[in-house]
Copies of this chain bind each other. A is one copy, B any other.
Amino acid sequence: MKRRKFLYSAIGIAGTTALGSCGLIFQNKTQPNINWQMATSWPKSLDIKYGAAEFVCQRVSEMTNGRFLITPYPANEIVPALKVLNAVENGTVECGHTDSFYYIDKSLALAFGTGVPFGLNARQQDAWLYEGGGLEAMQEIYAEFGVINFPAGNSGVQMGGWFKKQINSVADMKGLKMRIPGLGGEVMKQLGVDVRRLAGGEIYQAMRNNEIDAAEWIGPYEDERLRLNEVAAFYYYPGWWEPGSSDEVQVNRARWAQLSDEYQEIFKAACTEANLRTIARYDKLNRSALRRIIAGGTKLTPYSQEILQVCKKKAFEIYEENASKDTTFKKVYEQWKTFREQIYQWHGVNELEFSKISFIL
């Protein structure tokens, strides 16, 4: 821990008066009252993701007895959903809760801060970020924008989306109109999918009106809230494009530097807590939502090995291409790729073999 020292004279009014009457200047260690705003990329209806932002704010308040207050705002209320980084950069807000991959126009390598297709699952993403040099790499990129980031949420492997009809091969994907954003969409395009970008709230109607044939959202709990099980019969898995996506908190560095060491450490702890608690909440709620969805008649279907193999190949071709044209991407990608191979080997032994034997009840 760095050892910058701050002194505060922010004592209570009664104290100030009392001291003033003695003619003394008295500095104690009471931390000052602070009010921050946190913009987020999430509507309130995404209650786990928005809930993670609320959780960070709540925990900071609890750990400072209400002296460090942060007010979270839903997407578009004070800042557009996908402009959180810009607002934090400009100091419009002190901090935000969002995903780094929304900002790859600023630096392609920010994709790894959230996660990429066929990348790291939640636990591996945490291992990479906290212990494998990942967070340092992302913070180095954000420093250029005067921002610092901390992991603060993860959904685990998402679902592979809703389809009106069964798809068995890469050939079946061709011409399919599918709502899928980001790098997953880039991969799908290479399979001949007609990729559409729609906001979450638009998916249900588009599927119902046959404007699209397929759509991915998040996982059982969130998908059920959008009623996607009412407009498509087949629920595919796994969602290989988001195997362990990290949400994060971004903070304006100038405002960060004004915090005492204590407040900085408390803030970081609140983010780490949110990171762990969010996935536990997803697991709890997805678990029961999946059971309801299956009971409702949805056909749970795995992607074919052919589709998965082709998509994996295409994904890595995209990474190699990005690496050839962007030196920062190349640097992060190569370090990440080695970490991925090594942790895959380790988890391929212990975690995978345990899951294979134990999950079969």
Taking beta carbons and an 8 Å cutoff, which residues of A are in contact with B?
1, 11-12, 14-15, 18-19, 21-22, 24, 26, 28-30, 58-59, 62-65, 67, 118, 121-124, 126-127, 129-132, 156-159, 219-220, 237-240, 243, 260-262, 265-266, 269-270, 272-273, 275-277, 279-281, 283-284, 286-288, 290-291, 300, 302, 305, 308-309, 312, 339, 341-361
Contacts and interface: CB of A to CB of B under 8 A. Distances in A.
13 contacts: A15-B26, A18-B24, A63-B63, A65-B260, A123-B279, A130-B280, A157-B350, A238-B357, A240-B357, A272-B277, A287-B342, A290-B346, A344-B358
B29 A65 contact: yes
Nearest to A12: B28
B127 A283 contact: yes
Contacts of A361: 341, 344
Contact of A350 (B11, B238, B273): B238
A62 to B, nearest CB: 4
A275 B359 CA distance: 24
A283 B131 contact: yes
B342 A291 contact: yes
A240 B358 contact: yes
A302 B273 CA distance: 35
Contacts of A284: 127, 131-132
B15 A355 contact: no
Nearest to A300: B349
Nearest to A357: B308
Greatest chain B CB density within 10 A among A22, A30, A275, A352 is at A352
A280 to B, nearest CB: 4
A240 B358 CA distance: 8
A343 B287 contact: yes
Nearest to A261: B65
B156 A350 contact: yes
A280 B126 contact: yes
A118 B357 CA distance: 9
A308 B62 CA distance: 46
Contact of A358 (B243, B300, B305, B358): B243
Given A18-B26, A156-B351, A351-B355, 17 more contacts: A12-B28, A22-B22, A63-B266, A64-B262, A124-B283, A130-B280, A131-B283, A131-B284, A266-B269, A272-B277, A283-B346, A283-B347, A291-B342, A302-B353, A341-B361, A344-B359, A352-B352
Contacts of A30: 28-30
